[in-house]
Amino acid sequence: MTPDELPPAFRGLRNKLREAAARDIEIEGRVAQRLRRGRWRRWLLVAVAAIVSAGGVAVAQRLLDSEGPDKPGDRIPQKVAPAADPGVIATSAAPDPNGGPPWALRVFTNPAGEECVAVGRLLNGTLGTYEETRRFRKLPADVSGACGPPGGAGLLVAVQHRGHPESRTIVYGLARERWPVQVTIAGQTRTLQPGALGSFVDVRAGNFDMRGATASTTVAGRTVMRSLG
């Protein structure tokens, strides 16, 4: 008996079995494709981590952009980071007491895999410093910064004193849970609301004695305080 000579009931069953087999083949193909894509994505992220550790933030940004918009958490959003320097957190910008370009942070990873932040003046999407001649100089890609374990104790904070063009005391860092940060210097407390990635910058005119200075925030429901002196 040929397939065409089967009773109608058996022919219907045969067709349903063929359709089910075709669906199974299609599903297996999709699963295999996703697995291959997953392996590629993992390889890409490892490569990007290595590039960022070496200071190639802009190169890493381009690689992640080519991966498509479905993984926005893998890179700093465009509205947060200026295109001229993708490692810079634009929303961290804090005004200078005498005006001019604000102060902002660059976030990056060092070769040891630690989370790092560097501070500078933000001009035309680029982070830099002013020399004694008041000439703006872009911060190099391998600039050092304050570093700590990724996600560390929830609060990464550092202090810098700058002398040009005017004397400044800058307290900056990351408060990962984004609770307000209280910075106390010489008995004066400021409350800062962290921006993207928990970034915060406190700029004060003058070169302060940091003995007794502190920074504090809330981490996992408890107050965490750091000495700045």
pLDDT for residue 29 is more than 80:
no
Number of residues written out for the chain? 229
Residue 63 lies in a domain: no
Residues 46 and 140 in one domain: no
Residues 183 and 112 in one domain: yes
Residue 156 lies in a domain: yes
Task: Report the range of poorest mean pLDDT among 29-43, 63-77, 153-167, 170-184.
Answer: 63-77
Q: For 17-41, what is the mean pLDDT?
A: 49
Range of the domain at 187: 77-227
pLDDT, position 61: 33
Q: What are phi and psi of 16, to 5 degrees?
A: -65, -40
Residues 29 and 81 in one domain: no
Q: Which of 114, 79, 113 is nearest to 196 (CA)?
A: 79
Q: Report the sign of the C-alpha dihedral through residues 53, 56, 57, 60, in that order.
A: negative
pLDDT, position 9: 57
What is the gyration radius of the CA atoms in the chain, in angstroms?
27
Please give the Cα distance from 178 to 195 (Å, whole number): 7
Residues 129 and 168 in one domain: yes
Placement of tokens 């005391």 in the chain: 169
104-143 pLDDT, tens digit per residue, is 999 988 888 888 999 999 998 889 988 777 788 888 877 7
Quote the number of domains for the chain: 2
Residue 27 lies in a domain: yes
Residue 58 lies in a domain: no
Q: Which of 87, 81, 84, 123 is nearest to 103 (CA)?
A: 123
Residues 88 and 39 in one domain: no
46-70 pLDDT, tens digit per residue, is 333 333 333 333 333 332 233 333 2
Residues 127 and 26 in one domain: no
**Residue 89, SS3?**
strand
Residue 129 lies in a domain: yes
pLDDT, position 87: 85
Residues 217 and 140 in one domain: yes
pLDDT, position 145: 84
Residues 129 and 199 in one domain: yes
Residue 69 lies in a domain: no
Q: What are phi and psi of 57, to 5 degrees?
A: -65, -45
Tell me whether the omega of the peptide bond preceding residue 165 falls within 30 degrees of 0, making it cis. Answer: yes
**pLDDT band at 26; cut points 50, 70, 90:** low
Residues 211 and 165 in one domain: yes
Please give the Cα distance from 185 to 214 (Å, whole number): 7
173-196 pLDDT, tens digit per residue, is 999 899 999 999 999 999 999 999
For 31-41, b/e burial (b = at least 16 CB within 10 A) is eeeeeeeeeee
Are the beta carbons of 119 and 160 closer than 8 angstroms? Answer: yes
59-105 pLDDT, tens digit per residue, is 333 322 333 332 223 345 555 666 567 789 989 999 999 999 999 99
Residue 159 lies in a domain: yes
pLDDT for residue 39 is more than 90:
no
Residues 129 and 188 in one domain: yes
Tell me whether the omega of the peptide bond preceding residue 95 falls within 30 degrees of 0, making it cis. Answer: no
pLDDT, position 21: 56
Q: Which of 172, 209, 170, 221 is nearest to 194 (CA)?
A: 172
Higher pLDDT, 119 or 12: 119
Residues 177 and 220 in one domain: yes
